[in-house]
Amino acid sequence: MCYNKIPFAPLTGERPGAKSSDQTAGGYRLCFRFQSCRNPKHVRCFRAVYVYLYGTDFVLSETKRGYFLFMIEMHHISKTFRVARRNAGMREAVKALFRREYTEIRALNDVSFTIGDGEMVGYIGPNGAGKSSTIKVMSGILHPDMDEGTCVIDDRIPWKQRKEHVRNIGVVFGQRSQLWWDVPVLDSYELIRDIYQIDTTVYKRNLDELTECLHLSEILRTPVRQLSLGQRMRCEIGASLLHDPRILFLDEPTIGLDAVSKIAVRDFIRRRNREHGTTVILTTHDMQDIEALTERILLIGKGRILLDGSLQELKSRHSGVRKITVSHSGGETAAELAEQLPEGIVCTENQPGQSSFAVDTTRLGVSEAIGILSGKLEITDLSVAGATAEELVVSLYEEFAI
């Protein structure tokens, strides 16, 4: 199916409630949501409007319920924090006694995206870019700034209908634990069962399934403090899925794990998505996670969504990128060199004696690039390779200057 071909014509001004003043995407969206929610015919129109307005061509999977196309819709969400500024030094410390300066930090700046039911999306960006804030808004922990913008997830506004909303989501924070440190994992699970008021038979079924998929049977009776990080992370993920959430937020789930545990976690997430149709939003710094799991990535930097596309697309866009790794001796360090480089070549890694460069072959030939480099450095060894996902991201960060 290609929804691009559905004509947009019937949608302008003809439908009751869709006034011509509703020029914003949010306006259209709201009036169509109102009319189309339970009617598959409207759903199709609704989908067409979306494709028209946002120009995306990814095909949405049919949902089991069939009504909700988009599991998550964020439109123009912003979040501002007021932070007290502290300066170093004795004088500043004394001064701060009397007057305190505040800075406004825009953690999220007009963030909009949609995520379909059953999609897996990788959410990447450097530290402090707003990844966690987005997750917190989507999971109902934070109220965004309310001047404009909407966020609807599975037909609910997270922070307004918090309790109903969170029953539907599971959240794993890689750096925090939701399990009790001193009691066996199973005790924590039973508490979670009571918190979510999960029906006993449902709980039993889910527990059995999770035990099998995550290989928990050996460790369920161990206190958490005796588990390794990898074991603990598997238990954490299990704990977040006991109540059958339709959406799973994973905030750096593989952080600090060894290679074996990482692969186990990835396999499980993929399987969960395939078998249960769980929508997964994954933030990570590990590009292997992204490559292994997600088709689509969202790049955020300085609170803005900079890029929304498939990994494949990104790769083809950068297919002209080659990585040149250079060993060199003495002379100028690559750090100084980095500023003198012409368009089309950026320094991605910089260690004494060894540096890597990404070359955009559409703008600069590889041989030219080598020529430039050898003119500036005393090269002792050299290799050329296609870019990995890691390097794609670095060049993306460079491109957007974040």
User: Rounded CA gap, 190 and 74, in Å?
Assistant: 34
35 three-state secondary structure: helix
Q: CB-based burial of residue 309 (10 Å sphere; 0-12 exposed, 13-18 middle, 19+ buried)?
A: middle
Residues that bind other proteins (rule: CB under 8 A) add up to a total of 41
Q: Does 205 engage in binding with other proteins (CB under 8 A)?
A: no
Site string (115-134) toward other proteins, x via CB under 8 A: ------------x----x--
Stretch that binds other proteins, among 136-144, 200-208, 262-270, 274-282 (CB under 8 A): 136-144
Give the nearer residue to other proteins in terms of CB position, either 93 or 385: 93
Site string (175-194) toward other proteins, x via CB under 8 A: xx-x-xxxx---xx-xx--x
Q: Does 199 engage in binding with other proteins (CB under 8 A)?
A: no
- The least distance separating other proteins from the CB of residue 357, rounded to whole angstroms, comes to 31
Site string (361-380) toward other proteins, x via CB under 8 A: --------------------
40-54 vs 25-36: helix crossing angle, rounded to 10: 170
Kindly state the DSSP code that residue 318 receives in the 8-state scheme.
T
For other proteins, the binding residue among 26, 196, 291, 350 (CB under 8 A) is 196
Site residues for other proteins, window 80-119 (CB under 8 A)?
Answer: 81, 86, 89-90, 93-94, 96-97, 100
Site residues for other proteins, window 320-359 (CB under 8 A)?
Answer: none
Residues 6+ positions from 36 with CB-CB distance below 8 Å? 42, 43, 45, 46
Q: Does 285 engage in binding with other proteins (CB under 8 A)?
A: no
189: closest CA among 168, 217, 169? 217
User: Rounded CA gap, 26 and 113, in Å?
Assistant: 12
Q: Does 3 engage in binding with other proteins (CB under 8 A)?
A: no
Residue 195 identity? I
List beta partners, residue 108.
79
Q: Does 259 engage in binding with other proteins (CB under 8 A)?
A: no
265: closest CA among 216, 224, 219, 301? 216
User: Rounded CA gap, 189 and 219, in Å?
Assistant: 13
- What is the secondary structure of 136-172 as a DSSP string? HHHTTSSPPP-SS-EEEETTB-TTTSHHHHHTTEEEE
| Beta-carbon-side half-sphere exposure of residue 194 (alpha carbons within 13 Å) | 5
Stretch that binds other proteins, among 19-27, 114-122, 140-148, 292-300 (CB under 8 A): 140-148
Q: Does 169 engage in binding with other proteins (CB under 8 A)?
A: yes
Give the nearer residue to other proteins in terms of CB position, either 107 or 394: 107
Q: Does 235 engage in binding with other proteins (CB under 8 A)?
A: no
Q: Does 162 engage in binding with other proteins (CB under 8 A)?
A: yes
Give the nearer residue to other proteins in terms of CB position, either 194 or 339: 194
380: closest CA among 354, 362, 358? 354
Stretch that binds other proteins, among 118-126, 169-177, 265-273, 380-388 (CB under 8 A): 169-177
- The least distance separating other proteins from the CB of residue 294, rounded to whole angstroms, comes to 21
Give the nearer residue to other proteins in terms of CB position, either 168 or 231: 168
Q: Does 202 engage in binding with other proteins (CB under 8 A)?
A: no
Q: Would you tell me how many other CB atoms lie within 10 Å of the CB of residue 73?
A: 22
- The least distance separating other proteins from the CB of residue 250, rounded to whole angstroms, comes to 13
Residues 6+ positions from 144 with CB-CB distance below 8 Å? 77, 78, 79, 108, 137, 151, 159
Q: Does 195 engage in binding with other proteins (CB under 8 A)?
A: yes
Are 76 and 112 in contact, with CB atoms under 8 Å apart? Answer: yes
Are 214 and 253 in contact, with CB atoms under 8 Å apart? Answer: no
How many angstroms separate the Cα of 179 from the Cα of each of 35, 170, 221? 43, 14, 13
Q: Does 139 engage in binding with other proteins (CB under 8 A)?
A: yes
For other proteins, the binding residue among 62, 101, 164, 336 (CB under 8 A) is 164
Q: Does 260 engage in binding with other proteins (CB under 8 A)?
A: no
Q: Does 173 engage in binding with other proteins (CB under 8 A)?
A: yes
- The least distance separating other proteins from the CB of residue 162, rounded to whole angstroms, comes to 7
| Contacting residues toward other proteins, per CB under 8 A | 81, 86, 89-90, 93-94, 96-97, 100, 127, 132, 136, 139-143, 162-164, 166-167, 169, 171, 173, 175-176, 178, 180-183, 187-188, 190-191, 194-197, 223
